[in-house]
Structure 1
Amino acid sequence: MTATIARMQRANRGTQFRAYRLHGADPAQLDPFMGIDAWMSAPTFPPHPHAGFSAVTYLFLDSETGIANRDSQGNRTLIEPGGLHWTAAGRGVVHEENPAVLGSTTHLLQIFVNLPEDRQTEAPFALTLRPQDVPVVQRPGARVRVPLGSFGGVRSPLTPPTDVTLLDVTLEENAELEVTVPAGQRAFFMPVFGSAEIDGQSFGLDDLGAPITPTGADATAHRLVAKAGSAKVAVFIGKPLEQPVLSNGPMAFASRDNLAAAAAAYHRGDMGSL
């Protein structure tokens, strides 16, 4: 099956904030993911609420500094380069993220993952994966870190509330990697550095293209190839939840009543503060 090339957007703010965003025009397009923001400078996320879904931060190994994460549940975490932090917002939490060393460059993914409807009103909680605990798969000319899900016979030790896979793929020039998408799941491929091909279709940051594969009844194998130099690609795989997505921005629920209740709880201060 041929992948659809979706368009990413630049979301730069001044000279210190360079961002690339992938958010589907239709919420079903990326399901169970809700959007990906890739920052390649020194972002700051002041205290803000989330509810109904999960906010996941993954730092690439080349990040010059970590991210200091704290939330209104009392969690305090330093996300190191190569590490991942998963905030399951549930019925609501306030959190904040800042570079651990101000002025240093961070290189990260901010990933928004939907929660199954029956878990959207649960108490919030956080999961953390240290860089040294991320499994790594080596292939000829390719290195794959597996912070979420599984690949090549290895599985991440993290068990999040939504079962998804994240692969951090580095390819040498002309190297090939086969990525299998299980039956009933979809995948998308987000360029991080360089350009690549998937099943013969080119994509990269030059054209801000991100291939999205259709959901199939059978498992499908896709051929990822680096062209004209090395490339880094983030691969996202998951089974669509196929539930409504009603959002007011920082909150998203399958139920309009739950969305309204979460917004009211935040304004009452029930989610806590920082």
Structure 2
Amino acid sequence: MSTRTLQQVIPAIATSDGAGVKLLRSLGQSQTLRVDPFLMLDEFSSSQADDYIAGFPSHPHRGFETVTYMLDGHMLHEDHLGNRGDLQAGGAQWMTAGRGVIHSEMPQQQSGRMRGFQLWINLPAMEKMKPAGYRDIRPEEIPLVRLPDGGEIKVVAGNVIIDDNFVGGPIQGISTEPLFLDVRLPAGGQFKQDIATEHNAFVYPYEGHVEIGAQNQRRPLQPHTAGVLSSGETIEIRSPDRSAAFLLLAGRPLREPVAQYGPFVMNTREEVEQAMSDYRKGQLV
């Protein structure tokens, strides 16, 4: 069985989005730094209210999916479809923009720590104009799997098999077949996961650093850095000298052209221009 190796490193850069929310962006900091089907990964983390309090006021999307996963804090999602989601620590939202959605994500706290991630996942051409959809995922809906060495895995999307036990996350049946795991390892802990050979994958440590690869191929990956993996059937990750926490994300690549302008992700420039025109005319949704 071939083990994936660390192929490319993408350090996150400081930026801001929404109404000035400070964050770190790895994937998506340029249109060449993507891992098909993943378009962007943002990490937000601060105990300073000024860094997040203005939130993400009402804005449009078309042509892809957004996933917001909260570690700490509380945000409120509202959209034009009437969906309302209370994003709290340990919970997530999975929003399919499809042909169009206008939504907001606003902090519901005046102080304290707010920490989490937003991931953008592309949609295949045949699904870009399908009706928008929304799934609010409460913390108790996300399975927590204990590892023998004291580590743990939260399964947001996809499936894992640990000690012959099959565990499926709440998100299933999506065309890109995403795997979204939040893994925490103690010092010296190890994690091994099979991944479909044809799927692309990357690792994002957000606490501590990890080592990736089989014993004779291990390479370090620092926190707040996306580590893009080679092809292979399995991945091995180790926290060498202190505890670590990381996201493991994998999905079926679409291998389609990507045309993006801000919150619109289509296949051609003409389709993006149509999305912009539709939004100006109030016809996006």
TM-score, L = length of structure 1: 0.89
Query: Residue 66 of structure 2 corresponds to which residue in structure 1?
Result: 55
Q: Which of 211, 216, 222 matches 1:204? A: 222
* DSSP-derived class of the 1:121 partner: coil
Aligned-partner Cα distance in 2 for 1:270–1:66: 31
* DSSP-derived class of the 2:277 partner: helix
Q: Which of 260, 263, 277 matches 1:247? A: 260
Query: Residue 146 of structure 1 corresponds to which residue in structure 2?
Result: 155
How much has 1:21 moved relative to structure 2? 1.2
Aligned pair count? 262
Query: Residue 23 of structure 1 corresponds to which residue in structure 2?
Result: 27
Query: Residue 39 of structure 1 corresponds to which residue in structure 2?
Result: 44
How much has 1:125 moved relative to structure 2? 1.1
1:194 to 2:185 alignment: no
One-letter code aligned to 1:3: L
Aligned-partner Cα distance in 1 for 2:130–2:82: 17
* DSSP-derived class of the 1:107 partner: strand
Aligned-partner Cα distance in 1 for 2:137–2:74: 13
Aligned-partner Cα distance in 2 for 1:104–1:26: 33
Q: Which moved more, 1:80-89 or 1:27-36?
A: 27-36
Deviations for 1:77-123, whole angstroms, at most 9, x for unmatched residues? 11121111011111111111011213232111100000111010111
Deviations for 1:26-80, whole angstroms, at most 9, x for unmatched residues? 65841111010010025311111111011110112xx0x2210011111111112
Query: Residue 81 of structure 1 corresponds to which residue in structure 2?
Result: 89
One-letter code aligned to 1:242: R
Q: Which moved more, 1:72-81 or 1:23-32?
A: 23-32
Write out aligned runs for 1:254-265 (5 A): 254-265=267-278
1:232 to 2:229 alignment: no
Tell me which stretches of 4 or more aligned residues in structure 1 moved more than 4 Å: 24-29
Q: Give yes or no for contact 1:17–1:40 (8 Å, CA) kept in 2.
A: no
- Where structure 2 has 5 or more consecutive residues not aligned to the other structure, the ranges are none
Write out aligned runs for 1:28-177 (5 A): 29-41=34-46, 43=52, 44-60=55-71, 63=72, 65-139=73-147, 140-152=149-161, 153-159=166-172, 161=174, 162-177=176-191
Structure 1 residues 195, 157: CA separation in 2 closer, same or farther (over 3 Å shift)? same
Q: Give yes or no for contact 2:38–2:121 (8 Å, CA) kept in 1.
A: yes
* DSSP-derived class of the 2:188 partner: coil
Q: CA RMSD in A?
A: 1.9
- Where structure 1 has 5 or more consecutive residues not aligned to the other structure, the ranges are none
* DSSP-derived class of the 2:274 partner: helix
